[in-house]
Amino acid sequence: MRILIRDGRVIDPARGVDDLLDLFIEDGKVIRIEKGARSTEPLEASKGKGTKAARHAESALAVDRVMDATGLVVCPGLIDMHAHLRQPGREDKETIASGTMAAARGGFTTICCMPNTDPVNDTRSVTEFILDTAKREGAVQVYPVGAITKGLKGEELAEIGELVEAGCVAISDDGRPVMNAELMRRAMEYVAMFDLPIIQHSEDLHLSGRGVVHEGLVSTELGLRGIPSASEAVMVARDLLLAELTGARLHIAHVSAAESVRMIRDAKARGVRASCEVTPHHLALTEDTVRGFNANAKMNPPLRSEADRQALLEGLRDGTIDVIATDHAPHTVQEKEREFDLAPNGVIGLETALAVTLTILVAPGVLSLPQAIAKLTSEPARILTLSKGRIAEGADADLTIFDPHRDWTVDPATFASKSRNTPFAGWRLTGATVATLVGGKVVWEA
C-alpha cells in the first residue's frame, strides 16, 4: 500500500520543518518527502519534464491512495504519555480497544497506559497481556508504564528490571504518590539503571486529607473539603531534591499549581534531570468549573485558581512544562452521577486534547502551532526515548492530519471512548482531526 499525502502543511518540530510538503508512504514508513506542487515553484514554471510537478505526477500514478491535505496540517502522530485504559479489570469504563480508538479519533498514534489496573501492572504477565491485547485489538501503539511498587502500595519495589524487559517505557505508581521519601530515593536509583524516567503523581496525602477540590474561594463557598496547592508542591520539592541526589530522570505528572511550576523551573535551571506535563483541562479550566457541584470537574490534582492556570500557561511558554498529556481517566456515568464527595476523580481527554490545545493555547497565541505540536509529539518522545514523534524518510509513518480551523461542538455521545466524563461537553472548539495513520495505515478518518 502506497499512500501520498499531498499539499499538507507539514509541521515537524523535531526537525524544525514547517512547509507545504508531499509525503510518500510505503510499507509503514515515510519513504520520500518532497516539496508540494504548490509550495515554492509557480505552476507555469513547473510544467516541463523533470520539474517537481512532473515528478509528482509520475509518482501519483504509482500510489494506491492520494490523500489531499490542502489547507490541513500534517504532523507527527500525537503521543499521550499519560492515559488510563482500565484493562485489565475495569472493562466497563474502557478497554484497550475502545481507549485506542478514542486515541485514534483524537489524533494520537502512541499512548502510554498507567499501571493502576486490576491487577496492577507490576509484573511481566500484566505488561505482556497489555501489549498482546494492544497488538490484536488496539488501533494505535500502546506503551505500558510499569509500577514503582508492588500493588502500588508504596511498600516494596516492583520487579522493575523485568517490567522494562517486558516492554514498559516508564515507571510510575500513578494515582498514588510514593509517600515514603526513602523508598522514592531507592526507586529513583533503581530505575536510573535502566535509563527510564520515573513518573511521580505528586501529592502529600496528609495535606490532601479527604479533600475533593482545590482549597480556595470555591471550596470555602461550596463547603467542599479542599486540597491545598502545597499538597502537590511539597512533593514536587521533595522529589526534585531526590532527583538531584540520585541523578535520576524525574518526570512530574499533571502539574497543577503555580508553586510546582516555579520549583521545577528553578531545578531545571540548576541542571536537575526533571521534566513535567500538564493536562488540557488544567490549562482550560479553573476551580470555578466546580460550581454547581459538577462531578465532571472533579479530578486529582484538582482544577486550581486562575493564578495557577496563568502560571501553567507561562510554564508552557518558557519551556518549564515539556509536555501536554491527557490523564485520560474514564469512569462510568453511574459512578460520576453521584454526590460530588462520592464521585471518583478523573476526566477523559483523548478525543478533546488536540482541539482544546489549539483553542486554548494556539488561537490566543500562548504557543505557536509548531510549539504546541512539539508538546504533543517530539517532547514526550524525547522524555520516553521513543523513536517516534518526528517525520523523516525511513521513520514510521505515524501521522496526524488535522484541520486547524474547523469548529465543532463537543458531544460526548459521539465519543469512541466507552466513557463520557468530559468537562468539555457542549464546548465549541476549533481544530479537528481529519485522519490518523499508524505505521502507514489509516486507523481513523473523519
Which residues are at the interface with other proteins (CB under 8 A)? 215-217, 219-226, 228, 292-293, 334, 337-342
Closest CB to other proteins among 5 and 285? 285
Distance in Å, CB of 332 to other proteins, minimum: 12
Identify which of 388, 392, 401 has the alpha carbon closest to the alpha carbon of residue 142: 388
Q: How far apart are CA 78 and CA 411, in angstroms?
A: 22
CB 401 within 8 A of CB 125: no
Closest CB to other proteins among 306 and 407? 306
Closest CB to other proteins among 287 and 322? 287
Residue 310: C-alpha distances to residues 112, 127, 304, 340 (Å) = 27, 38, 10, 26
Distance in Å, CB of 177 to other proteins, minimum: 21
Closest CB to other proteins among 57 and 205? 205
Q: Residues in the chain, how many?
A: 446
Identify which of 251, 312, 250 has the alpha carbon closest to the alpha carbon of residue 279: 312
CB 169 within 8 A of CB 112: yes
Distance in Å, CB of 118 to other proteins, minimum: 20
Angle at 210 between CA 232 and CA 233, to 5 degrees: 10
Q: Which residue has the cell 474514564?
A: 330
Closest CB to other proteins among 294 and 385? 294
Closest CB to other proteins among 36 and 226? 226
DSSP 83: E
Distance in Å, CB of 92 to other proteins, minimum: 16
Pairing of strands 213-214, 441-445: unpaired
Identify which of 51, 90, 145 has the alpha carbon closest to the alpha carbon of residue 346: 90
Task: Summarize the chain as % helix, strand, coil (round to 5).
Answer: 35, 25, 40
DSSP 139: S
Q: Which three cell numbers stand for residue 147?
A: 509500577
Q: How far apart are CA 149 and CA 146, in angstroms?
A: 9
Closest CB to other proteins among 118 and 341? 341
Q: How far apart are CA 312 and CA 97, in angstroms?
A: 32
φ and ψ of 120, to 5 deg: -65, 145
Q: How far apart are CA 144 and CA 19, in angstroms?
A: 34
Q: Which three cell numbers stand for residue 177?
A: 504518590
Residue of 327, 396, 398, 403 marked catalytic:
327
- Burial class (CB within 10 angstroms; exposed 0-12, middle 13-18, buried 19+) of 339: exposed
Closest CB to other proteins among 231 and 433? 231
Residue 118 catalytic?
no
Give the ranges where 142-292 is alpha helix by DSSP (H). Answer: 160-166, 181-192, 205-208, 217-222, 229-246, 258-269, 280-284
Residue 76 host element (H or E)? strand 73-76
Report, as residue numbers or ranges, the catalytic residues. Answer: 327
